[in-house]
Chains A and B, each alone.
Chain A
Amino acid sequence: MMMDNLEPRDAGRTEPAAPRTPSEQAPMTDREVPLSAHHTAEAVHAWLDGEAVSEEALQASAKDYAFWQRVEAETQQRRRMQTPTYVTAQIMSAISKR
């Protein structure tokens, strides 16, 4: 796949850049967070994606399942967050002043 060269070290260069090591060639998202040694069970991914998964499959990965149940409880709480009322008022106030 053809990609733009966004490497800042290459700025202004006209000659071909020196070959990079495999880790340098990886996209930024690969380098910032190294691949996990721990792989979340596929059944748990499927459950988190809202797919039908048997309880047996989930219990086969009980530790992962328990961990993500806890995280899901927290994210469900966050899903109920509402915009503070003062924000809407400030937006409309800023608009009316201009």
Chain B
Amino acid sequence: MTNPLDPQEPLVDADQAIIDRVLAGEPGAFSILVTRYSDALYRHAVGMTGSPDDAADILQNSFIKAYHHLGEVRGRFDAWVFRIVANGCKDWLKNIRRTHVSYEEDDQPSGYETPEEELDRGELRGDLDGALAALPASLREAFVMKHVEGRSYEEMADLLGTSVGALKMRVHRAREALQRLLEDRYQ
């Protein structure tokens, strides 16, 4: 993904050149765009779903959709394909929440014998996924983009079409909620 704080215009130009090649009848060139952007998008999807398998499905469907609508790209390809993946994640969340068991309801004792074991990283990984799943999609999205994808607030604002101030508030609120959900076990 490009960072708008960095001079990335050549990459944007390169994306358009690849799109032109695909539209001119060279479908194999699309793999360059997939390779260029898939890791960041995969991290986003894993962060949003908590499931590598579902993230892979969303990514696959999103890139196929992008391929078939490639002629509609206006502006930055990376921002356009990000929106397709982000919407795919939100649709997935809407469906999964119909059968979702909340973090609190699923918050059973872990069975670990000692606090040291309790603090095991693998445990934190699972607990963090559970806590993220309890957040509203907008807060989870902001936290994942900031902390898992490592994006700047400016880049997030650019991709989401939201102000930096609003995104900072979402990230701060996500942190507060995550700490509240996890503090009994990790503080």
Contacts and interface: CB of A to CB of B under 8 A. Distances in A.
For this complex, into which size category does the number of interface residues on chain B fall?
35 or more
Interface residues of A, number: 39
Interface string B21-38: 000000110110011001
A40 B149 CA distance: 22
A35 interface: yes
Interface of B: 27-28, 30-31, 34-35, 38-39, 41-43, 46-47, 52, 56, 59-60, 63-64, 67-68, 119, 121, 124-125, 128, 134-136, 138-139, 147-150, 153, 168, 170-173, 175-180, 182-183, 186-187
Nearest to A96: B27
If over half of A's interface residues share one DSSP class (helix, strand or loop), that class is named, otherwise mixed; here it is helix
Interface of A: 28-29, 32-33, 35-40, 45, 48-49, 63-64, 66-68, 70-75, 78-79, 81-84, 87-88, 90-92, 94-96, 98
Contact of B121 (A63, A74, A91, A94): A74
Contact of B39 (A40, A73, A81): A81
B56 A71 contact: no
A81 B43 contact: yes
Contacts of A63: 187
Given A67-B182, A74-B128, A82-B39, A95 B27 contact: yes
Given A36-B180, A40-B179, A79 B150 contact: yes
